[in-house]
Amino acid sequence: MVKPVNIAQLPTIPNDLIFLDHENLVRWNHTTGQFETLSRNVTCYSISADLRTVVLEITKGGDIYEIALLDLASGTKTSLVESASRLIDLAISPDGQWVAYIQSETLPDEWYCRPDLVAFAMDTFTIGGLYSGTIFSLRVSASQGNASESPVEMGYCSGSEGLGFCGRVLWSPDSRSILWSDVEGVWSFELGASQAQLIIPQTRNQPDYFDNRIYFPWSWSPLGRYVLTGFIIFEGVTQVVLDTQTGQVAEVPGAFSYDLPGSKPTWMADGRLFVIRPPLPSIYSDFPPSALEIWRVDPQQPGMLVLENSFLLDISWDQVPTGDPAQLEDGRLAFAILSRESGDDQVRGLYFADPASLAPRKVNGLPPSLSEYFYYAISIVWSPDGQGAILQDWSEYPMLLYVPTDGSAVYDLSIVIQGCCFTWLR
């Protein structure tokens, strides 16, 4: 059952939640059940790994933009740098000590970055595009709230129309290096280095379109070194694991997506990959069936990926895993299955699986999706303890739900939140 809510009837949530709503950074306080505005005129934010420090891009008016640091515990906000140029993206390092950002002089007035579009399913490769910019790093002291150094230029990111170059900067888990991609290739900059290093070149504009090789890194392994990377040849996109030390790539099994959905991978805490293979129509009987899988990365093996565990899913072509899967704090794996068929109530819903057995257990239902393209238009943000998830449909039929995992009612938040970019706190 889907239950619409208003501001006076907010559901109980397990932890605080922050998000952007009408260019305000808002905290949904789970203790008081109230919304609290943390900062206004925010166009982008990024949060440290300990969930204590947020870096913001703030519009000050008169074509002045500010990068500021917000301490969530005290509410103290400190200005770091001001500029007349907007940001394509900004990211705080996991340790909260550095900020990296792409600054551009060509962004349109309506531009704002979308920090929740880290999901591969959200077609991240259209973010950025023809816009180019200079990439800077800025060292900050999170404890004192002061900028300890001036911004340092790391490189220039060259965009290209039609593809999402320069859309994102990615910090490594150890907060020592930064990745980005542009028309030349995927670049890495080590803090303290004199210049960026090219990890793997782009191959574009080939006479045979299928000779093109275009890469977009989007998710670091928690152990470092390896990065889940979007990979475009001609039409459609797949996902590969990119070895940042060697430039070697390995395709995630079944990940190609164009007119049919591809596999959905996510990193596990131990550096393995949890992969959901979707079902395919019966004409693709030669392809592997729908399954939950765990793969280990081993650079010594020819394919670099080694299958460790698998569990076959008994779902039909109309019942498709959607949104990116996740691993929760206690190690459980979490994923969602959606469909457009109203009669699929027994299958459609949120699921948990234990990494050892991979046997799925349904923890709540979901309403039918209205969109024909629901398998790539959904983002899901799981609470770290697994008590609930925010599900957002970005298709032509937008939907925003809070889904508890205790089997109780699903809440429609669309009336009270017209926002995006959700992050659970602890």
CB hemisphere CA count around 202 (13 angstroms) = 25
Q: Is 120 helix (H, G, I), strand (E, B) or coil?
A: helix
Higher-scoring residue by pLDDT: 301, 283: 301
Instruction: Give the residues across from 103 on adjacent strands.
Output: 87, 134
**CA distances to 218, 228, 351, 366 from 321, in Å:** 20, 19, 10, 12
Residue 366: burial class (beta carbons within 10 Å; 0-12, 13-18, 19+): buried
pLDDT of 148 above 90: no
What confidence score (pLDDT) does residue 281 get? 75
For residues 311 and 360, what is the distance between their CA atoms, to the nearest angstrom? 9
Burial of 329-348, coded b for 16+ CB within 10 Å and e otherwise, reads eeebbbbbbbbeeeebeebb
What confidence score (pLDDT) does residue 112 get? 63
- Paired tokens of 314: 């008994």
pLDDT of 117 above 70: no
**Percentage of residues in the chain having pLDDT higher than 90:** 59
Confidence category of residue 395, pLDDT binned at 50, 70, 90 = confident
Instruction: Give the residues across from 341 on adjacent strands.
Output: none
pTM (2 d.p.): 0.92
Strands (E), 298-396: 305-312, 320-327, 333-338, 349-353, 360-365, 378-382, 388-393
**Range of lowest pLDDT (28-32, 86-90, 403-407, 408-412):** 86-90
DSSP state of 405: S
* Sole residue written with tokens 């010594």: 300
Phi, psi torsion values for 48, nearest 5 degrees: -70, 165
- pLDDT tens track for 180-213: 999 899 999 999 898 999 999 998 776 766 677 8
Confidence category of residue 324, pLDDT binned at 50, 70, 90 = confident
Residues 411-416: what's their mean pLDDT? 94
Q: What is the mean pLDDT of the chain?
A: 87
pLDDT of 234 above 80: no
Residues 50-58: what's their mean pLDDT? 95
**CA distances to 70, 97, 255, 396, 422 from 49, in Å:** 14, 11, 28, 33, 15
Higher-scoring residue by pLDDT: 286, 221: 221
Higher-scoring residue by pLDDT: 376, 349: 349
Of 276-285, 336-345, 410-419, highest mean pLDDT: 410-419
Higher-scoring residue by pLDDT: 395, 360: 360
Query: Taking Cα atoms as reference points, which of 413, 354, 406 lies closest to residue 383?
Result: 406
Q: What is the DSSP string of 197-262?
A: EEEEE-B-S-SSGGG-BEEEEEEE-TTSSEEEEEEESSSSBEEEEEETTT--EEEPTT--BSSS--
Confidence category of residue 110, pLDDT binned at 50, 70, 90 = low
DSSP state of 385: T
What confidence score (pLDDT) does residue 56 get? 94
What confidence score (pLDDT) does residue 353 get? 98
**Range of lowest pLDDT (176-180, 345-349, 375-379):** 375-379
What confidence score (pLDDT) does residue 369 get? 77
For residues 40 and 23, what is the distance between their CA atoms, to the nearest angstrom? 6
Distance in angstroms between the alpha carbons of the first and the last residue of the chain: 28
Residues 297-312: what's their mean pLDDT? 95
What confidence score (pLDDT) does residue 217 get? 92
pLDDT of 307 above 90: yes
Confidence category of residue 143, pLDDT binned at 50, 70, 90 = very low
Using left for φ > 0, alpha for ψ between -120 and 50, and beta otherwise, residue 167 falls in alpha
- Paired tokens of 280: 């395919």
Residues 129-153: what's their mean pLDDT? 76
Instruction: Give the residues across from 100 on adjacent strands.
Output: 91, 137
Residues 60-64: what's their mean pLDDT? 83
Confidence category of residue 164, pLDDT binned at 50, 70, 90 = low
